[in-house]
Structure 1
Amino acid sequence: MTDHTRQRQISDTLDAYQADLASQGDRQAFALLYRRWHPRGIRLARRLTGDAAEADDVMQDAALTIARDIRKLRDPARFSAWAFTIVRRRSADHIDRAVRRRAGEADSLMPETDMGPDVALSMKQALARLPETERTMLALFYLDGFRGHEIAAALGIPLGTVKSRLFKARQSLKKLYEGDDHD
């Protein structure tokens, strides 16, 4: 067993223990759990909303919901999945409100650039050319360190879908990076 795996198991066990205590009304356990969990929740909210200020608002709403509803958590071992689902739903609520606010505004389109299939793109350029869903999947997995089941919970999709989308995103990124994106 690697050190990373061992640390993950310890963290998961600690989350379950503190979530159980928090669900029974232990405020200190909740504070410790939330302090440790918050950075990952805020990264998810930023990925989903695309805006740091929006992500902060999402996390405030999510924190209130989590604090209010933690007594309803049936399986403390599933705290992170439960909490990520709340963050995802609050992100969707914020996005919906933003879309409604902007409904009257004209869409601004960025000009597309065609670099041609023979030009190999830098990794950053290749990532930028991926669809948003593929960029999000790669970022959650590689940059934010989410595991497959956590991504599934955060995005509200089955684990098999996460795995297939990650595979597709890797393949797309490889093609773009190697300059082999011609169809």
Structure 2
Amino acid sequence: MSIQQAQVELWVLEAQSGDSKAFSELCQHFYPSAISFSIKLCGDIYLAEDAVQSALLKLSKTISKLRDPAAINTWVFKLVRWQVLYMLKLQNRYRSMEDTEPLYSEDQLEQYDLAKAIAALPDIEGQVICLFYLAQLELNEVAAVLEIPTGTVKSRLFRARARLKQALQT
């Protein structure tokens, strides 16, 4: 276990005891990676921000139910995923990533080839990359968040890396 993970687990225990500062630290820790994941899910930065805020609000109400502090990564990203899907359903906004407005200007994307390549991945492969590399979740945690078998996560991660490699070599 890394020192950072130990700190996160300590914040969970303190937040479960009612420490609002510890809960605030948890939110600050997860917010950047949760936003990245949420944007990949919905393609809309405003909806992503709303979904993450709603997910963190739900976390504040449900953190006491978390029995294993080590499961906080999975718990947070599941809440974010469920909230994004719920908000999309409410707004009847199911659409493919190709139909969404780009999050960055063309000039910015040229500067960030990797960001462009990740954005171009199919949805599920992009989600796996975001969770595994950007949020630094373990394979079993990614599987739990996406509600798919670990073997499927491995194959999608392999396929996504191959596509990224190909996109970056052109």
Q: Mark the CA change 1:12 to 1:102 in structure 2 (over 3 Å): closer, same or farther.
A: closer
1:97 aligns with 2:90: yes
Q: Mark the CA change 1:75 to 1:46 in structure 2 (over 3 Å): closer, same or farther.
A: same
Q: Following TM superposition, by how much is the alpha carbon of 1:157 offset from its aligned partner in structure 2, in angstroms?
A: 2.3
Q: Which runs of 5+ in 2 are unaligned?
A: 100-112
Secondary structure of the residue aligned to 1:78 is: helix
1:48 aligns with 2:41: yes
Instruction: Provide the C-alpha distance between the structure 2 equivalents of 1:36 and 1:173, rounded to a whole number of angstroms.
Output: 27
Name the amino acid aligned to 1:82.
Answer: W
Q: Following TM superposition, by how much is the alpha carbon of 1:131 offset from its aligned partner in structure 2, in angstroms?
A: 2.5
Matches within 5 A, 1:1-183: 9-98=2-91, 100=92, 130-142=121-133, 144-147=134-137, 148-174=139-165
Q: Following TM superposition, by how much is the alpha carbon of 1:141 offset from its aligned partner in structure 2, in angstroms?
A: 3.4
Name the amino acid aligned to 2:65.
Answer: K
| Per-residue Cα deviation, 1:116-171 (whole angstroms, up to 9, x for no partner) | xxxxxx978866664322233234434x2423334223322232221111112233
Q: Which runs of 5+ in 1 are unaligned?
A: 1-7, 109-121
C-alpha contact (below 8 Å) 1:87/1:154 kept by paired residues: no
Structure 1 length normalisation: TM-score?
A: 0.69
Q: Following TM superposition, by how much is the alpha carbon of 1:65 offset from its aligned partner in structure 2, in angstroms?
A: 0.4
Q: Following TM superposition, by how much is the alpha carbon of 1:81 offset from its aligned partner in structure 2, in angstroms?
A: 1.0
State the percentage of identical aligned residues.
36
Instruction: Provide the C-alpha distance between the structure 1 equivalents of 2:94 and 2:8, rounded to a whole number of angstroms.
Output: 39
Which of 128-137 and 10-19 deviates more? Answer: 128-137
Name the amino acid aligned to 1:47.
Answer: K
Q: Mark the CA change 1:139 to 1:16 in structure 2 (over 3 Å): closer, same or farther.
A: closer
Instruction: Provide the C-alpha distance between the structure 2 equivalents of 1:43 and 1:137, rounded to a whole number of angstroms.
Output: 12
Q: Mark the CA change 1:174 to 1:42 in structure 2 (over 3 Å): closer, same or farther.
A: closer
CA RMSD of superposed structures (Å): 2.9
Q: Which has the higher helix share?
A: 2
Instruction: Provide the C-alpha distance between the structure 1 equivalents of 2:62 and 2:114, rounded to a whole number of angstroms.
Output: 42
Q: Mark the CA change 1:28 to 1:133 in structure 2 (over 3 Å): closer, same or farther.
A: same
Name the amino acid aligned to 2:122.
Answer: P
Name the amino acid aligned to 2:14.
Answer: L
Structure 2 length normalisation: TM-score?
A: 0.74
